[in-house]
Amino acid sequence: MTLRADSDRILHAADDKAGWGLSLLLGLTHVSLIFDGIIFLPIMIGKATLTPPEQVAFVTFATIIVAALGTLIQTLRVGRIGCGFVLFMGSYSAFLACTLGAVRMGGLELMATMTLLSAPVVFFYSYFLRFLRHIVTPQIGGIMIILVALSLMPIAIELWQGGLPDRPGFGSASNYIVGVITMSALVLLMLFGNTTLRLWTPLLGLGAGCAAAWFFGILELEQAVSAPWIGLPQWAWPGLELDLGLSHVPLLAAFVMAAVVSSMEGTGNIMLVQQFSLRRFRKVDYQRVQTGLYGDAVAKGLAGLSGAAPVATFCDNLPLLKMTRVASRRVGLMGAAILFALAFMPKISGFLLDLPAPVIGGMLVVICGMLFAAGISLIISSGLSFQIGLILGLSLCAGLVAETRNFFPDVMPVALSPVLQSGVAMGGFVAMAMSLLLVLFPKPQMTFRLLPRTEEMPKLLATLEDVRHKFKISDTAFHRLRLSCEETFSHLCEHVADEGKTCLFDIQRKEEGMFVEIICGSQVEDVDRCPPPIHPSCANDQDLSRLGLFLLAKMARDVLHFHLSGNTYITFYIDD
């Protein structure tokens, strides 16, 4: 095994049972990094509105509890709810403007109602994901991850300098040195650390940063010292605002847009966590993306009912899975348990909030770099064509423009600020809009349906002859097309139990070659997971039946087989 392969090897994949002690420490590391983000919206409600302190305390408590429940749902994957990977949840910054607007307009009860009404948006986005399969692709998911890194960098730089600009010591040399020490410790441990050191890289990086902060006198524990060990907020559930009218429509539209943005980013997050959590990651499992988004919708519903701030999936901590090479679900379980405990232990949560800003900023800079690399890897693994490269470039430009937050301020409507001032939202919408244009652009196409029966094979071959004459396909390309379709259809005839369900063939001529998509209304064994053939003398009947799939892998390229909403989707390209 090469050094690079060994450094990338996952120690504990999602299904592995890592030690409980190790899971506890790593779960605490994840929570330490994102805890201030989890309660970001409640903090802003307290600072930017006239909400009484006891109500702010209740919203904070409820948000932590919902974040813990959401993390638990995502990790455990209860039925068809949750992605089944370590995916934390917490309050989401895209909801900041509309959340503050709701609180100022009608109090916390209006915020809770709007949060509850935004949950179905995510549910419908996920339910109809199969119709967006050519738009919400792994390449678009990779672009979303890069945009997240792009939007995190200004936050990381600001924290590195000391937090808010009006804080004492902002931009001082001591803050700079503390951030550099934190980053250096993380990078050196990841580059040169052995298996054991790599495992503890996040904690050692935090420790080195905190030690440097203590040396320079910027490690303050004000909140930890003043907070009690155990405490509960005063019961101040706001309830729901049921008296809604036309005046609330613009506010609802803002919440809907924020929910769509969180769904888009959540799609990329779930694609990325699969890449970090599976030993032999080969392709994105869209079924997990869909169930993970269902979990996101459930968490938003719980937030609305409990009076918590709107929540969404987090990707800030996902590079820690790559950094430590531990993606066991037990890490997510312990992280959820820690969040539950923090809701009742103000002193511990105060200590996490007291972590020096330059230390968190230094960690976020490294994490942004890893997110950039992960996003590019997700794009390249799925194919970086000229069109995808153009979409990537224009999306990043749109994201950069949005992050300036000064794009024609006198022209753009204030109601659109959740989109226009978010790099993830603007870049994501540009990426999906351009991807939609590629799908809708007229192209030579031919579709037909067949029953999954061997008697339909002559009809398939005859129709392919029509395709040959219509598209003027060369003899070599047609031979590869016919053989690929024939072997795929034979596989479907063998494995589809309900012969009443038809198979839809969609053949298109694209710039990359002949594109073939086959859709079947039931789930069958994957055609893109075919082992190399063995010697015929040692082969059994099952091995011989899979020789056709091996031929498919040789005749076609970019063979992809995935399941979504109970349907099977098989796609491949034929070079022409």
3-state secondary structure of 261: helix
Query: Which has the minimum average pLDDT: 11-20, 161-170, 263-272, 447-456?
Result: 161-170
The pLDDT > 90 percentage for the chain reads 26
CA of residue 495 relative to chain centroid, distance:
32
94, two tokens: 């895209």
Report the alpha-carbon distance of residue 16 to residue 39 in Å, rounded.
30
Give the tens place of pLDDT for each residue, 405-457: 776 777 766 666 666 777 777 888 888 889 888 888 877 889 999 988 888 89
What is the structure's pLDDT at 414?
64
CB 394 within 8 A of CB 434: yes
Q: How far is the first Cα of the chain from the last one, in angstroms, to the nearest whole number?
A: 38
Give the tens place of pLDDT for each residue, 160-193: 998 777 778 888 899 999 999 999 998 998 888 8
Residue 507 parent element (H or E)? strand 503-510
Assign domain 445-575 to a CATH class. Answer: alpha beta
Give the tens place of pLDDT for each residue, 42-80: 887 876 788 888 888 899 999 999 999 999 999 999 888
57, two tokens: 């305390």
Cβ neighbour number for residue 497 with a 10 Å cutoff = 8
What is the structure's pLDDT at 4?
39
Of 108, 64, 121, the C-alpha closest to 261 is 121
Largest pairwise CA distance in the chain: 81
What is the structure's pLDDT at 7?
43
What is the structure's pLDDT at 536?
53
- Angle made by CA atoms 328, 331, 332, in degrees to the nearest 5: 100
358 to 28, 169, 546: CA distances (angstroms): 19, 11, 56
Dihedral in degrees, nearest 10, Cα atoms 48, 53, 59, 60:
90
Positive or negative, the CA dihedral 415, 124, 135, 73 is positive
Secondary structure letter of residue 531 according to DSSP: P
Q: Which residue has the higher pLDDT, 390 or 413?
A: 390
Backbone angles phi, psi at 449, to 5 degrees: -120, 145
Give the tens place of pLDDT for each residue, 538-556: 555 555 556 666 677 778 8
Domain segments of the chain as ranges:
20-144+219-239+260-358, 445-575
Positive or negative, the CA dihedral 91, 97, 103, 109 is negative
Of 343, 283, 326, 338, the C-alpha closest to 85 is 326
Mean pLDDT, range 90-113, rounded to an integer: 86
Output b/e per residue, 420-457; b: 16+ Cβ within 10 A.
Answer: bbbbbbbbbbbbbebbeebeeeeeeeeebebebeeebe
What is the structure's pLDDT at 403?
79
Report the alpha-carbon distance of residue 348 to residue 230 in Å, rounded.
9
What is the structure's pLDDT at 526?
77
CB 284 within 8 A of CB 36: no
Contacts 24+ apart (CB under 8 A), 128-132: 129/286, 129/289, 129/290, 129/293, 129/564, 129/565, 130/286, 130/564, 130/565, 130/567, 130/569
Instruction: Place 1 in a pLDDT band, splitting at 50, 70 and 90.
Output: very low
pTM for the full model?
0.81
Cβ neighbour number for residue 123 with a 10 Å cutoff = 18
